[in-house]
Amino acid sequence: MKLSLIIKPIKSIIQELNLEVELFDASFQTVLGARIDKGACQIVKSVSETSNKFLLIQRGKHYLCTGCGQECPILSGIFVPLNLQNLSVFAVLAFTRKQQDTLLNNQDCFINITEALANLVKNMETHYHPLPKKGPAPEIDKTPCGFESIIGKEPVLETLKESVKKLARSSSTVLITGESGTGKELFARAIHNCGPRSRFPFITVNCGAIPEPLLESELFGYAPGSFTGASPSGKKGKFEVANGGTIFLDEIGDMPYSLQQKLLRVLETKRVDPIGGISSRDLDVRVIAATNQNLRDFIKQGRFRQDLYYRLNVLSLRVPPLRMRKRDISLLTEHFLQVFVNELDSPMKGISPDIREIFLQYKWPGNIRELKNIIEYAVHLGEGTSLELEHLPIWFWEHLLEDKSFDFSRLPVNKMSEDTFLQLFQSPENTSILKGLSLNEKKKLADKLGVSIATLYRRLKID
């Protein structure tokens, strides 16, 4: 039996439900030709690269649609990753208003149907067209290396990008270190996309997010009937799914000590032993690991194997924190503002000079992830056409006041929202900051809050 034999009944089922089906190949082009002349959009590429399903509610409203450059006929759709050698994404699509209503009115049901059909395609294609064992590397993908997702122009970042291009040439393991929220996964994807494995899967596993009893089967798979509740057909682990490509082990420092020996054996032998299996299976996978922790300290504490550390740390990359990339803060702010403005159809287009100044002074303990969350919060809840200080969440100001190196004389308290101001300065520690204001500044602050200066003094217990 060939894959083409099951596609016809799948198309018939979906068309009977008043929708259409499409497959996308490894270069994100359509396989079945369902009304799409120019192939895949950025959504298809994102689904393939992140291995996450995606529901497109309305064409052109999501930021991935912005700047696509093609007149896409898709109104709505459900996209599910396949991560196969020749097929990247399975999709159920709506091209007409009637089809769109059908899909969105029953979206949970159609998501389940799409995932089930995608699994059918995946199982059939994997069985009859197995991923490659060792052999000649495929031709390097000439598409951009994913650097478009890495925003910034600081020299330290440009140097890092050059390092990525060099690391991409080999198949040696890479250990990426850096604080939480610095974008380590983006660099891992860039290494994959710039190298000879770019046409094969990039599979992400968060070692700290999966419970210990499940992590072993998630990574290495299991044989049929190997334990109670196991699928009668067994299951491939992430290492096998990534065969030919790259597996990204995020938060490697959180991997249970009991599993570290098995991971070390996989790295050394390039073979995997599924749980309950009677034979090993060959692998051709590049391993990239990442952590925000000090693995050398973990080794001293007996929490991480030294031999595994050296096996992972053949090549290394350290991603700098955002506070060391001052010139990139404005670029990232503009980028995330544009992303969420497009996503939410917000009128907020500009960034006030006050925002730019306060962001440069802030230490960004949560790095790029924190900046992104702040902009998302501000665009969701803020009003007006410009991002202003009053739109910032209370926890941003709380973190700022915890920074003892911050110049509090430059704190723009008269530009905060009333709610933020009153919440922030209820504590005596924070109230003491206001004592440094001039009488004129205190009067302006009272006017902003709509109270007399005497009331302001009484509320905040200012001498």
The per-residue pLDDT for range 260-316, each reduced to its tens digit, is: 999 999 999 999 998 888 888 889 999 999 999 999 999 999 999 999 999 999 999
Amino acid identity, residue 249? L
Is the pLDDT confidence value at 192 over 60? yes
pLDDT exceeds cutoff 70 at 357: yes
Q: Where residue 46 falls among pLDDT bands split at 50, 70, 90?
A: confident
Span of 168-182, 186-200, 343-357, 439-453 with lowest mean pLDDT: 439-453
Q: Are residues 456 and 372 in the same domain?
A: no
Once rounded to an integer, what is the mean pLDDT over residues 380-396?
A: 88
Q: Do 114 and 39 fall within a single domain?
A: yes
pLDDT of 323 reads 94
Q: Which of 363, 380, 406 is the last residue of a domain?
A: 406
Decide which of 174 and 454 is more confident.
Answer: 174
Gap between the Cα atoms of 46 and 283, Å rounded: 25
Which tens digits make up the pLDDT trace of 251-270?
Answer: 999 999 999 999 999 999 99
Whole-Å CA distances, 125 to 54, 83, 119, 237 = 22, 11, 10, 17
| Res. 67: pLDDT tops 60 | no
Structural domain that includes position 416: 412-463
pLDDT the model gives residue 89: 86
pLDDT higher than 90, residue 75:
no
Structurally, how many domains does the chain consist of? 4
User: pLDDT tens digit string along 107-118?
Assistant: 888 888 888 888
On whether residue 141 sits in a domain, the answer given is no
Q: How does pLDDT run across 145-158, given as a tens digit for each residue?
A: 567 778 999 999 99
CATH number reported for the structural domain that contains residue 215 in this entry: 3.40.50.300
- pLDDT for the residue 225: 76
Q: What is the mean pLDDT of residues 27-32?
A: 73
Please state, in angstroms and rounded to a whole number, the distance separating the CA atoms of residues 179 and 214: 27
Mean pLDDT for all residues in the chain: 82
Whether the predicted pLDDT of 429 surpasses 70: no
- Same domain flag for 45 and 170: no
- Any domain includes 136: no
Task: Specify the CATH number for the domain of residue 56.
Answer: 3.30.450
Helix (H) or strand (E) holding 176: strand 174-177
Identify the burial level of 149 via C-beta atoms within 10 angstroms of its C-beta, where 0-12 means exposed, 13-18 middle and 19 or more buried: middle
Q: Is the CB of residue 355 less than 8 Å from the CB of residue 333? A: yes
Give SS3 for 281.
strand
Please give the pLDDT value at position 308.
Answer: 97
Torsion of CA 126, 131, 133, 138, to 10 degrees: 160
CA–CA separation, 225 and 227 (whole Å): 6
Reported confidence tier of residue 143, pLDDT bands at 50, 70, 90: very low
- Measured CA distances, 206 to 210, 324, 361 (Å): 7, 26, 32
Do 159 and 80 lie in a common domain?
A: no
pLDDT higher at 253 or 44: 253
The whole-number pLDDT of residue 295 equals 97
The least confident of 1-5, 295-299, 397-401, 435-439 is 1-5
* Better pLDDT: 132 or 344: 344
User: Which of 128, 163, 197 is the last residue in one of the domains?
Assistant: 128
Question: Are both 314 and 440 inside the same structural domain?
Answer: no
Higher pLDDT, 382 or 459: 382
Mean pLDDT of 211-215: 87
C-beta contacts of 441-450 below 8 A and 24+ residues apart: 441/414, 444/414, 445/413, 445/414, 445/421, 448/414, 448/418, 449/418, 449/421, 449/422, 450/418
Please indicate, yes or no, whether residues 98 and 152 belong to a single structural domain of this protein.
Answer: no
Confidence band of 426 (pLDDT split at 50, 70, 90)? low
Please, what sign has the CA dihedral across residues 223, 129, 1, 113? Answer: positive
Q: Is 354 a domain residue?
A: yes
Element (H, E) at 94: strand 87-94
pLDDT band at 437 (very low <50, low <70, confident <90, very high): low
Do 159 and 220 lie in one domain? The reply is yes
Nearest to residue 206, comparing CAs of 156, 255, 242?
Answer: 255
Higher pLDDT, 48 or 35: 48
Report the C-alpha dihedral over residues 354, 356, 360, 365, rounded to 10 degrees.
Answer: 100
Structure tokens at 312: 């992972």
Overall pTM > 0.75? no
Which pLDDT value is given to residue 421?
A: 67
In this structure, is residue 370 part of a structural domain? yes
Residue 463 or 355, more confident:
355
Residue 204 has pLDDT above 90, yes or no: yes
Q: Is the pLDDT of residue 417 over 60?
A: yes
Looking at residue 129, its pLDDT comes to 42
